[in-house]
A and B are shown apart, each in its own frame.
Chain A
Amino acid sequence: MLSKKQAIEVLNAALKTGGDYAEIFIQETHSSSYSIENGKVEAVTDTVGLGAGIRILKELQSVYGYTNDVSKNGLLALANSLSASYSGKQTLFIDNLKVKKVKNIHPHLRPHAEVDPKEIIAYLKKGEEAMRISPKIVRTKSGLSHYNQYNTLINSKGFIFKDEKERGRAVLMCVAIDGEKIETGHNAPGASAGFEFFEQNVDIVKLGKETATSALTMLEAKECPSGKMPVVIGNGFGGVIFHEACGHGLEASAVSKNLSVFAGKLGTQVASKLVTAYDDGTIVNAWGSNNIDDEGNKTQKTVLIENGILKSYLIDDFNGRRMGMKGNGACRRESYKFEPTSRMSNTFIANGTSTPEEIIKATKLGLYAKSLNGGSVNPATGEFNFGCSEAYIIRDGKICEPVRGASLIGSGAEILKHIDMVGNDLERAQGMCGASSGSIPTDVGQPTIRVDEILVGGNGGELK
């Protein structure tokens, strides 16, 4: 590992052509994955990665490089090749570095790597078996991946941060078949914690049954009707709608270049008064949490929207330069192979006052999107789309027949204004969010909400 003296040498090489900030990010990752299919262990795989990235900033420019050669010579060569992109004289000199202790606020009590693999396998088999509730369930799979990451961030502000994290995520998947119809069920809980998270918080048998039931229900489903209609979106993963429709548009990478529909809108009404939303990277053991962000700033609980008013963006120090604002702990990346930038952590709409029952009861004719399976957004136009993995028609205030193949589309700025009921059953769910700095763990979340009108796409004709 790089000594303090060597790190100083590398930083000075990075800054020698006038860069005003430089950082070295060294990352070692140990991960393992298990997969079980139809009662048997199918594969177990270990991965060990080691690499480093160097970033040099000069005003509004950035250069980034990465390598697997983390020796002093490897990093010096990288720093020299990167600094050659700038022409100027060194203005910032590093002569000392101070270790800044990073407090681990996400304890892992039973590190996965120390748990007997047989115990993990037995747990996964229980979940896999629980999905076999009908002869129509023809295929069942379960799996678990976990990793430990040891990150060292050394920057020209004179600090060395050493951070360690552990994450684990289980997955349950099944395929249900009836004649020519095929449907799938899927659930994947995870946390920034050790195996104790699964033992204490995830009833894998119950989750297995739910996963299979959802696939069987969708086998019975008719094609979803299409057109504009009121939509009640279920809690938990339903929050992906806020993540896509609004969250990405609040990232400094888009806002700083005026490429977001939310640029220049701080302090203005951007959502219905019922909407208050947060991004909170400090939630203990949550999937999207971190101790510090990838610029060494402490993670925060940031109010994004309060009673419909836009309060804050998600800012990294570099994009913050263009905006004249400071980073708020939102700078993240997948690994050393990515230059870090502003990203979400655990992003959710806060509880309102209605019960989920009241929301359904108040809806005469519309769609109940119980769970969504992801979506995407174009931050510049705000146009988004989501697919529903489980959905029903609401008739006269009651949840009625299931429908398949439903998608929700619209514009983020519009939909936020059309949220007319917010429930009191906030839940968070885990996802992977992909953007320029790679695929990172994030939580989405919300209570049950109702949007008075969304365009629903489906193959089932008009809603009657």
Chain B
Amino acid sequence: MRFNEKKFFELALANKFEAADVSFSHSKSTSCSIFHREVDSLTVSDSYSLTARGIYNGKFGTVAVSKIDKDTPQFLVDSIIRSASLVETNNPSIIYKGSEKYHKKNVFNKEVISSDINEKIELLKKIEDKIRAYDKRISEVATVGYDESFDESSLSNSYGLKLKSKMASYAFYAEVAAKEGDEVKTGFKVFVSLDPKEFDMDKFAEEVAKDAINKLGGTQCKSKKYPTVLKPNCVSALLRAYLSNLDAEEVQKQSSLFIGKLHQPVASKKLTVIENNLEKNVFYSYYDDEGVAMNKKFLIKKGNLETYIYTLETAAKDGVEPTGNGVVGAKVKAGLGCIYVKPGKKSFNEMISPIKEGVYITELEGLHAGMNAKSGNFSLQAQGFMIRDGKLAEPLSLITVAGNLVEVFNSIKEIANDVSLEMSQTSSPSILIKKLAISGK
């Protein structure tokens, strides 16, 4: 059933809405996974959802549906009136007339979704064989899977703004177990891309196998503070938690670590972080959920905080321009997009060579429980390797790393030049922290 947008806007204006908007998203996906060379799961989907908002008597009302029929426009209007009538806060309610310039690029590649799923299943079998053949300590390939999806979305409002985007992407993932004696370790890897030619099966199989095998023989180090090197994925986990404090709403409501820190140092001078959603990758996006254009911008420049991230509402409160970070849910929040940490000059090996005794952290677990981004305190399960006399030594497992985000980012000793090419929302090299508390035995 097609949604009658025109009718919704007509009804909204007839009911004295100041303005209204509708965002629509539609996804189609196919995914499959194999276990012991047999397809054990295959999923196809075709789904949509629609969120409508309106300003009624100066207040926002919001409603979301995935049930669309001829009565939907009226239902949305009634529901917005109901919800707006209950709102008591006097926050600025704004529906956006549009940015001057949008950086729209075509990232849609139809080759991704026109592929034959049976070919992919054969490929998954080959990947499983390669993983098993890589090392005899690979005891199980828990899953090898493939996922492709087509997503299209649009945002339109009663001012006549209409923004559209579409994308097709695919992912391969695998989870394996390696065993030696009674010890079991697991490895996991995901590869995501917009371009079918980018997937390298041999490299993927090798990396997932290694991820498990390298953890075997892990011991616990002595509990104390060590110079600590963080792998890019671990930098990402800590940095994204730290930067969640950039949300201007949290600053305005006195619950951010960055209160009063605009244009002040919040990290070591070595750290520069840029936000940019305009690269052609799976995270590409040129407008936010409120319709504000996205732009490349500095978040942290040589340790100084360059900007908070804003929604239309929080930007109006601070008297600044919105930053293209709006995420519409029950309420609009500011969310962090793709971030890039500026690499340093030294290679990974050069960076670790002066470390007599240190720890290299390759994985952090338990972020949803052991990380308090508001206080900055964290205490997380970790895995990694000892660094002895400037070289990687024995693997470490079941250790914890604890600290405070403010301290960590102010005590960066070195940033390497080994930017990971893996697709993730954070692009970063490895980083050496002067000292972090590691607990083991």
Cα–Cα distance between A67 and B375 once the two chains are bound (Å): 42
Task: Please give the distance in Å from B28's CB to the nearest CB on chain A.
Answer: 10
Interface residue tally for chain B (C-beta within 8 Å): 73
**Proximity string of chain A (44-74) to chain B, C-beta cutoff 8 Å, 1 when within and 0 when not:** 1111111100000000111111111100000
Task: Please give the distance in Å from A407's CB to the nearest CB on chain B.
Answer: 4
Q: Does B44 contact A (CB under 8 A)?
A: yes
CB of B43 within 8 A of CB of A46, answer no
CB of B330 within 8 A of CB of A33, answer yes
**Which listed residue (A45, A62, A184, A457) contacts B439, Cβ 8 A?**
A457
Task: Please give the distance in Å from A241's CB to the nearest CB on chain B.
Answer: 11
A residues 404-441 near B (Cβ < 8 Å) are 404-407, 409-411
Cα–Cα distance between A179 and B378 once the two chains are bound (Å): 19
A residues 442-464 near B (Cβ < 8 Å) are 455-459, 461-462
A41-B86, A226-B439 known; A405-B378 Cβ under 8 A: yes
One of B122-130, B153-161, B352-360, B401-409 contacting the partner: B401-409
Cα–Cα distance between A224 and B437 once the two chains are bound (Å): 11
Cα–Cα distance between A60 and B399 once the two chains are bound (Å): 38
Point out the residues of chain B lying under 8 angstroms from A85, CB to CB. Answer: 39, 42
B residues 247-268 near A (Cβ < 8 Å) are 253-255, 257
**Which listed residue (B177, B372, B376, B400) contacts A457, Cβ 8 A?**
B400
CB of A456 within 8 A of CB of B439, answer yes
CB of A337 within 8 A of CB of B437, answer no
CB of A63 within 8 A of CB of B79, answer no
**Among B1, B38, B140, B400, residue most surrounded by chain A Cβ atoms (within 10 Å):** B400
A residues 382-405 near B (Cβ < 8 Å) are 383-387, 404-405
CB of A182 within 8 A of CB of B374, answer yes
**Proximity string of chain B (23-42) to chain A, C-beta cutoff 8 Å, 1 when within and 0 when not:** 00000000000010011111
Q: Does A142 contact B (CB under 8 A)?
A: no
Cα–Cα distance between A459 and B375 once the two chains are bound (Å): 14
Point out the residues of chain B lying under 8 angstroms from A65, CB to CB. Answer: 43-45
A residues 303-352 near B (Cβ < 8 Å) are 337, 339
Q: Does A153 contact B (CB under 8 A)?
A: no
CB of B379 within 8 A of CB of A406, answer yes
For residue B72, which residue of chain A has the nearest CB? A48
CB of B46 within 8 A of CB of A67, answer yes
A residues 113-158 near B (Cβ < 8 Å) are 117, 121, 138-139
Cα–Cα distance between A69 and B67 once the two chains are bound (Å): 9
Task: Please give the distance in Å from A328's CB to the nearest CB on chain B.
Answer: 21
CB of B40 within 8 A of CB of A61, answer yes
Point out the residues of chain B lying under 8 angstroms from A259, CB to CB. Answer: 140, 142, 177
Q: Does A227 contact B (CB under 8 A)?
A: yes
CB of B370 within 8 A of CB of A385, answer yes
**Among B62, B75, B79, B372, residue most surrounded by chain A Cβ atoms (within 10 Å):** B372
A45-B64, A224-B379 known; A82-B44 Cβ under 8 A: yes
Q: Does B271 contact A (CB under 8 A)?
A: no
Q: Does B210 contact A (CB under 8 A)?
A: no
CB of B66 within 8 A of CB of A49, answer yes
CB of B64 within 8 A of CB of A47, answer yes
Task: Please give the distance in Å from A93's CB to the nearest CB on chain B.
Answer: 23
CB of A226 within 8 A of CB of B381, answer no
Q: Does B173 contact A (CB under 8 A)?
A: no
Point out the residues of chain A lying under 8 angstroms from B64, CB to CB. Answer: 45-48
CB of B369 within 8 A of CB of A373, answer yes
**Proximity string of chain A (282-319) to chain B, C-beta cutoff 8 Å, 1 when within and 0 when not:** 00000000000000000000000000000000000000
**Which listed residue (A34, A50, A459) contacts B402, Cβ 8 A?**
A459
Task: Please give the distance in Å from A41's CB to the nearest CB on chain B.
Answer: 4
Q: Does A175 contact B (CB under 8 A)?
A: yes
Q: Does B371 contact A (CB under 8 A)?
A: yes
Cα–Cα distance between A257 and B186 once the two chains are bound (Å): 14
Point out the residues of chain A lying under 8 angstroms from B401, CB to CB. Answer: 457
Q: Does B423 contact A (CB under 8 A)?
A: no
**Which listed residue (A35, A62, A177, A407) contacts B370, Cβ 8 A?**
A407
Task: Please give the distance in Å from B89's CB to the nearest CB on chain A.
Answer: 5
**Which listed residue (B49, B91, B365, B377) contacts A405, Cβ 8 A?**
B377
CB of B398 within 8 A of CB of A411, answer yes
Q: Does B184 contact A (CB under 8 A)?
A: yes
A43-B331, A380-B186 known; A457-B142 Cβ under 8 A: no
**Among A45, A60, A372, residue most surrounded by chain B Cβ atoms (within 10 Å):** A45
Q: Does B92 contact A (CB under 8 A)?
A: no
A-B contact pairs, 22 of them (CB 8 A): A34-B86, A37-B89, A42-B331, A43-B62, A45-B330, A46-B64, A48-B67, A51-B47, A51-B66, A64-B42, A68-B47, A78-B44, A138-B253, A337-B45, A380-B177, A380-B184, A387-B372, A407-B370, A456-B400, A456-B439, A457-B400, A459-B377
Going nearest first, the 7 A-B pairs with the smallest beta carbon separation are A457-B400, A385-B366, A387-B369, A50-B67, A385-B381, A226-B439, A407-B379
Told that A49-B67, A387-B372, A458-B437 touch, could you supply 7 new A-B pairs with CB distance under 8 A? A65-B44, A226-B402, A228-B441, A383-B365, A387-B366, A387-B379, A405-B379
